[in-house]
Amino acid sequence: MANMPAAENLSGNFGSYTTTTGILLLVLGAAGIFLPGLVSLGTVFFIAGLLITGGIIWSVHTYKHNAGNVMDWIKPALLLIIGSLILFYPQSGVAAVGLLLAVYLFLDAFGSFALAQLIHPLSGWGWMVFNGIVSLLLALLFLIGWPATSMWLVGLYISISLLFDGGALVAIGMAMRKSGKL
């Protein structure tokens, strides 16, 4: 058990709030599974808000420090335009996020296959292959119906992720309570 000291140090990162946070994420993830379109829209509105806020901050910076240089206005203008387009056309924004998730899942699948091949004779390589197959199937699921399925797939993907995060935190919190660490 050479990793026990590291595990003991890590346990300080979890507190009594871990189980509560996990339960809240479980509830949020479960609700999102039943309302995936709402989660998808919430996600793209959040992204649009970040882009617009970034555009405003860059615009203020450019105005204060180099307002006369046209090239310095390109970045804030792009942030504002893209954020506004996503805000005014949220379904297109969800479709774009769906396409990006498909690309990510493809890259994740091929990375998992490469890692499985690298560690092949060692125990656990099969789990990497399984992870790669699941990522590949999810990517194909995103692309087969794209863009029409993006509205529910993006929200479902995010909701399932929240559900698993919540489950993991509840399990960690309960284990910490059981061991007397909390």
DSSP states along 144-158: HTTTTTHHHHHHHHH
Q: What is the pLDDT of residue 7?
A: 46
- Please, what is the angle between helix 150-179 and helix 17-34, to 10°? 160
Structural tokens at position 177: 């309570």
The CA distance from 113 to 116, in Å, is: 5
For 45-55, letters b (16+ CB in 10 Å) and e give eebbeebbebb
Q: What is the pLDDT of residue 78?
A: 96
Map residue 120 onto helix, strand or coil.
Answer: coil
Map residue 18 onto helix, strand or coil.
Answer: helix
User: Model-level pTM?
Assistant: 0.72
User: For every one of its 182 residues, what pLDDT tens digit does the chain have, with 9 covering 90 and above?
Assistant: 455 454 455 455 566 788 899 999 999 999 999 999 999 999 999 999 999 999 999 999 999 998 999 999 999 999 999 999 999 999 999 999 999 999 999 998 999 899 889 888 877 788 889 888 988 998 999 899 899 889 999 999 899 888 888 888 888 888 877 877 65
Whether the CB-CB separation of 49 and 169 falls below 8 Å is answered with no
Alpha helices (runs of H) in the chain, residue ranges in sequence order = 4-10, 17-34, 36-66, 74-88, 90-118, 125-144, 150-179
Torsion, Cα 27 43 103 89, to 10 degrees, reads 140
Q: What is the pLDDT of residue 169?
A: 85
Q: What does the angle CA 178 – CA 180 – CA 182 come to, to the nearest 5 degrees?
A: 100
Q: What is the pLDDT of residue 79?
A: 96
The CA distance from 116 to 129, in Å, is: 6
CA of 61: how far to CAs of 50, 51, 57, 58, 64, in Å? 16, 15, 6, 5, 5
